[in-house]
Structure 1
Amino acid sequence: MGKGLFVPQRVFVQKEALDYEKGKRLVEELRSQGIPLSVYKRRLPAVSFSNPRARFLALKRVLAVGVWAGREFQSCKPSAHYQLPLISGCPGLCEYCYLNTNLGGRPYVRVYVNTEEILARARDYAIKRRPEVTIFEGSATSDPIAVEGWTGSLAEAITFFAQLEEARFRFVTKYTDVNGLLELDHRGKTEIRFSLNAGRVISKFEKGVPSLAQRLVAVRNVARSGYPLGILIAPIFLFTGWQAEYQHLLRTLRDHLADTGVDA
């Protein structure tokens, strides 16, 4: 498995997901790792916890494997036209993350196995908006790189959008398991963005995610592979010496991009 891969402590699989090859493969791979796995029909089984904090932390280590059954994509303004519903949730424990409230009642990571159906729906949306370009966001409620080593869904999406006219794909991540994306024929139609912050902020507020040094290596590798690259530095924390530390971050980022062809 790649560096930065989320390893769940427990897995729940929707029975319908076993009708898909990806669902069968995921079950086989997860079981081979000795991870406890249960199959459910409609709703995730209820699990009792001693207190809300214990519940939140335990569910953060749960992977739910299911089938996306929505009829319409949600909008994603202003950054994109639509959310691409491949994954929801994130195993990271960043204290300021909006997912702590948006998904507070169900903080587990959920992956969908009917990727081909989801991408076919994306094609329909793109065709309807032609000749305008339609942008799809892959990380509105998730960090998809965290589970890419299990699902391969981003690789499928990148390859799909490379061949779809008047469409673009984008996602943001704090994770670093990008090796499976570096050799893809992306044709410049997928933008990969990395969320960075000052080292002090990461060590204090961003738990369960790769370090700044690890992320910068992933940034460099993605840039060398010719992907359109984005950098997100937020939120900005004001602390003693904050300006110097953020300046150091920017200089370090520039150094990592020096030989990639990216103008930094």
Structure 2
Amino acid sequence: MTPQLLVSPTRIYFEPAAADLPRGREVLDRFPEAERVEVDSHWRIPELHGDEANAQRWVRIKREALVLGVKKSLSARPNGRSAHFIAPSTANGCAMACAYCYVPRRKGYSNPITVFANIEQITGYLRRHVARQGPMDEPGQVDDAAWVYDIGENSDCSVDALVSDNVRDLVELFRGLPTAKASFATKYVNREMLEWDPRGRTRVRFSLMPERTAKLLDIRTSPVGERLAALDDFRAAGYEVHVNLSPVVVHDGWLEDWRELLEALGDAVSAPTREQLAAEIIMLTHNQALHEVNLRWHPRAEEVLWRPELQEVKRSEGGGVNVRYRRGLKRGLLDELLGVVERSAPYLRVRYAF
């Protein structure tokens, strides 16, 4: 999907404080023909968030709306799986529309991109946080030598880079931090990022799933084949390249689909890329509220995502009703998939699987 089809703002909602900052002015200047609507808070925009009618305009809102805000609270939360820390967000929301995505649960319904304009404050905080950590004492499953900061927990950085320079600023920040790395997962191939010279200090985790499932669930993303074709190019451009095998969705023929994908992965990457490649495997977690929204705009997705006969309820820390594959069943499913990985991609180091 071209950048113009993915995100073409016709209306920008902005907090006045965001519009006064250099990054906010840059974003507004990038889309001069977009209507501008002043708002008190990027969290409270009724026509975007919390209106059930938006389920019928899900994709249109993602393409045509953009929000400018200021990130109020800055903290680096400990993680331990994908990264050591979750960095303060420089954006939230997304122009893509993956049917299983947890991000819409944060603000409700479509949740288009919100760009945080106080990027200098965020990068300053991160620089100080990294300095406080000092060198890493011993290797672990996250990384052998560097503190890793996930910079894209609530958005897709490759798409964020289409509307602001925040992600580029973060890549350039970590390029100069010898004890730390940035990291983000993505489903979009943004080849402009190949010119950024990250010097090994940014880890890009390309999310992969079998093509048959991706066509149903990964809406408005780069095709899986395009993601596979980008792996060598991003490694050659100076990124550390990993893959996320996620979410793993169980359906008839799922293991055979994953075998085909893993064989395609091996065919797509060169020996230098294969040597540094690692994977995270994440089984599907779904959400009751998102299930109900999806039934309004993409009911076919729910035929594979909502499987009560296989799933159990798990309440989130915020009280939401999530569903995941039943505990006893999930372990067996994971072991089956790990067996496929071992046979079809024996070079692929699995950093963690859950």
TM-score by length of 1: 0.87
**By how many angstroms is 1:201 displaced?**
0.5
Do 1:13 and 1:66's aligned partners in 2 also have CA atoms closer than 8 Å? yes
Do 2:210 and 2:257's aligned partners in 1 also have CA atoms closer than 8 Å? yes
**By how many angstroms is 1:170 displaced?**
0.3
Do 2:188 and 2:221's aligned partners in 1 also have CA atoms closer than 8 Å? yes
Do 1:223 and 1:257's aligned partners in 2 also have CA atoms closer than 8 Å? no
Do 1:4 and 1:175's aligned partners in 2 also have CA atoms closer than 8 Å? no
Q: How does 1:27-38 map to 2 (within 5 A)?
A: 27-31=28-32, 34-38=33-37
Q: Which moved more, 1:163-172 or 1:2-11?
A: 2-11
**By how many angstroms is 1:2 displaced?**
5.0
**By how many angstroms is 1:190 displaced?**
0.9
| Aligned equivalent of 2:94, options 76, 90, 98 | 90
Runs of 4+ in 1 over 6 A off after TM superposition: none
Q: Any idea what SS the aligned residue of 2:244 has?
A: strand
- Structure 1 residues 4 and 155: alpha-carbon distance in aligned structure 2, compared to 1, 3 A threshold: farther
Deviations 1:17-71 (CA, angstroms, capped at 9, x unpaired)? 222222112111112xx33332334455432867252365555342111222214
- Structure 1 residues 84 and 71: alpha-carbon distance in aligned structure 2, compared to 1, 3 A threshold: closer
| Aligned equivalent of 2:185, options 150, 172, 178 | 172
Alpha-carbon distance in 2 for matches of 1:55, 1:174: 22
Q: Which moved more, 1:57-66 or 1:150-159?
A: 57-66
**By how many angstroms is 1:261 displaced?**
4.3
Q: Which amino acid aligns with 1:186?
A: P
Deviations 1:142-168 (CA, angstroms, capped at 9, x unpaired)? 112112022122221111111123211
Q: What's the counterpart of residue 66 of structure 1?
A: 69
Which sections of structure 1, spanning at least 5 residues, go unmatched?
Answer: none
Do 1:73 and 1:85's aligned partners in 2 also have CA atoms closer than 8 Å? no
Q: What's the counterpart of residue 39 of structure 2?
A: 40
Alpha-carbon distance in 2 for matches of 1:202, 1:59: 22
**By how many angstroms is 1:105 displaced?**
5.6
Q: Which moved more, 1:166-175 or 1:62-71?
A: 62-71
Percent identical pairs in the alignment equals 23
**By how many angstroms is 1:8 displaced?**
3.4
Alpha-carbon distance in 1 for matches of 2:3, 2:100: 26
Q: What's the counterpart of residue 22 of structure 1?
A: 23
Q: Which amino acid aligns with 2:193?
A: L
| Root mean square deviation of aligned Cα | 2.6
Do 2:71 and 2:89's aligned partners in 1 also have CA atoms closer than 8 Å? yes
Q: Which moved more, 1:83-92 or 1:154-163?
A: 83-92
Do 2:241 and 2:273's aligned partners in 1 also have CA atoms closer than 8 Å? no
TM-score by length of 2: 0.66
Q: Which moved more, 1:35-44 or 1:152-161?
A: 35-44
**By how many angstroms is 1:97 displaced?**
1.7
Q: Which moved more, 1:51-60 or 1:216-225?
A: 51-60
**By how many angstroms is 1:218 displaced?**
2.5
